Structure 1
């Protein structure tokens, strides 16, 4: 039974990351995927995101680019829609907050730079990192991310797209 369910999941979604990021309703349509199995999958995904965040936050973010990119990949990889996140940093480059700025569609996530700046001021952040996924690998989407980084001016901003 477990082998058949696992095979059905891989056939439908393709990879472990895509399975973990799948919508609950989609998972529930597969044989053998009841509420408990779906909850287990969602808990495993959340656990991996939190473990990655712990690694990224254990040391200064900017001196640990590998931990940062691993955290971004774990958080955003395989999502079916674009998400735009902002990592707010203190003056020692420790992560103050990781916030979801926009949860969009398959090829667009609306972001307003003034809102990012407003939030950075509220948190007394010294710098920030923009993190954005591209489910459709659109060049236009990458260009928009770059333009947002430019529009935030001379602040210490890094874009990980």
Structure 2
């Protein structure tokens, strides 16, 4: 959704009577004249970058980490108000980065440059987490596998269904999204899951889907679907190792819960 008063296009005076009452770093978003950045913004950016480089991500709060990203997207404005606005809208850093382009576009001040940079950051985070589990035995990298699933799925606003395909040594050979759905449902086709396992010569697999509500408790539909997948795989001599439901901060394992 496009806004006529985008952050990078907003025409406001650099100083007014209300702005004089707040710290320069907290000043409202302002479109700056061409030329040099005002010293208060330039110095703030330099201090923030230095603090990040010396202390890492743990040395700065979420809104300042967002500022560092927004510096790249919006080079000529005070972006602190926009960083705070994003956190107010979505709740935390992860939810900002994983928000859909449509919802990001609804936030005042967000244009295509910001959306693109946030989606690049999301893709990079998922790519890095995925690299820690692909072509590795899931037993020895189980924690990394859970981290990857949470990175990829925990903050999505709709359900997503993935299948992790394993070879005879339980090495992860493929990670594929099988479907996307609504806030509380995603279509799953057991025959298609089994067919794809044969195509990949997989010996076992793990089902993974998320609950946008944040509660990983399985529904009766989740349990029924899992049983249908088990039946389709057993006919082919393929094992279902587990079905993971990813919540906002934790996950549920069907095998650990005695549901497999």
The answer, yes or no, to whether TM exceeds 0.5 is yes
TM, length-normalised to structure 1: 0.91
2:90 corresponds in structure 1 to 13
Judge which range, 28-37 or 92-101, deviates more. 28-37
Provide, for residues 107-134 of structure 1, a one-character-per-residue CA deviation record: whole Å limited to 9, x for no partner.
Answer: 0001011110011011111110000100
**Is 1:95 the counterpart of 2:179 in the alignment?**
no
**Is 1:37 the counterpart of 2:114 in the alignment?**
yes
State how many pairs are aligned.
160
2:244 corresponds in structure 1 to 160
**Is 1:25 the counterpart of 2:102 in the alignment?**
yes
Aligned-residue CA RMSD in angstroms?
Answer: 1.6
> Of the two, which has the highest radius of gyration?
2
Question: How far apart are 1:59 and its partner, in Å?
Answer: 2.5
Segments of 5+ residues of structure 1 without an aligned counterpart are: none
TM, length-normalised to structure 2: 0.58
Whole-angstrom CA distance in 1 between matches of 2:142 and 2:220: 22
Whole-angstrom CA distance in 1 between matches of 2:201 and 2:181: 27
Question: How far apart are 1:76 and its partner, in Å?
Answer: 0.3
Q: Which structure's relative contact order is higher, taking Cα pairs within 8 Å and 6+ residues apart?
A: 1
Pair 103,63 (structure 1): closer, same or farther in 2 beyond 3 Å: same
Question: How far apart are 1:138 and its partner, in Å?
Answer: 7.1
SS class of match (1:97): strand
Structure number with higher helix proportion: 1
1:104 corresponds in structure 2 to 181
Segments of 5+ residues of structure 2 without an aligned counterpart are: 1-77, 246-260
Q: Displaced runs of 4+ in structure 1, greater than 4 A?
A: none
Question: How far apart are 1:58 and its partner, in Å?
Answer: 5.4
